């Protein structure tokens, strides 16, 4: 018995070492799936969690949002100011999504997405008010404007790809109107915009004159 106890005691530091190593490895993997500027999930990690979130209930919405006139912010105030706006937008969106039992991610550049519980589509107006608060950078208040597209998940199995495309289309429709929100009809799955070269019209890489 004493020998077994000795062996167990000798092995304890080794097990503890492996546990610490495994914890550090898990944290490194998670950090690699986080956007370094905003702390939000990157595209692939977001989509993994978004699918799981959608499976929790039918009264959920997929949102795609984009900052309006972001290039002008960079040109006028510099890229550090642009980074400050991206960071603030990510933090605000993340807080809103968490408060709505959801998840948020940065898709790239100044484009973001979220999945959240949403009984009333009008709740997106509160999100816009939060996102459009000015961002202070070096004693200068920078105005922020967003366009948001919303696709709602009804009954049946959720198709994240279809919902993201629908939300993306309506984000672009809102952008063409100068900003705000555009909410897709819940039971309409037909694309609102044509596809060019396999991408939504207006996206970089299409032949359309307008770009998102």
Stated pTM of the model: 0.76
Give phi and psi for 82, each to the nearest 5.
Answer: -60, -40
Query: What does the pLDDT look like over 12-49, one tens digit per residue?
Result: 666 656 555 444 544 454 556 789 999 999 999 999 99
Between 210 and 108, name the one with better pLDDT: 108
Q: Is 83 a catalytic residue?
A: no
What is the average per-residue pLDDT within 48-62? 87
Q: Which of 110, 141, 143, 168 is catalytic?
A: 110
Q: Is the pLDDT of residue 169 over 70?
A: yes
Band (121; pLDDT cuts 50, 70, 90): confident
């Amino acid at each position: 018995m004493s020998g077994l106890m000795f062996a167990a005691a000798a092995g304890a530091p080794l097990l503890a070492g492996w546990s610490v190593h495994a914890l550090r490895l898990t944290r490194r993997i998670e950090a690699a799936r986080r956007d370094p500027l905003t702390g939000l999930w990157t595209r692939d990690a977001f989509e993994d969690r978004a699918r799981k979130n959608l499976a929790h209930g039918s009264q959920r919405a997929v949102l795609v949002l984009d900052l309006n006139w972001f290039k002008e912010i960079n040109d006028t105030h510099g890229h550090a100011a642009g980074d400050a706006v991206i960071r603030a937008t990510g933090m605000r969106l993340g807080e809103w999504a968490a408060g709505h039992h959801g998840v948020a991610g940065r898709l790239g550049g100044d484009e973001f997405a979220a999945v959240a519980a949403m009984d009333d589509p009008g709740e997106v107006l509160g999100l816009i008010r939060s996102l459009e608060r000015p961002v202070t950078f070096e004693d200068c208040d920078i105005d922020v404007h967003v366009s948001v597209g919303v696709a709602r998940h009804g009954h049946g199995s959720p198709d994240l790809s279809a919902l993201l495309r629908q939300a993306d289309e309506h984000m672009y429709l809102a952008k063409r109107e100068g900003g705000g929100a555009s909410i897709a009809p819940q039971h309409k799955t037909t694309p609102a915009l044509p596809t060019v070269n396999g991408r939504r019209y207006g996206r970089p890489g299409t032949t359309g004159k307008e770009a998102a």
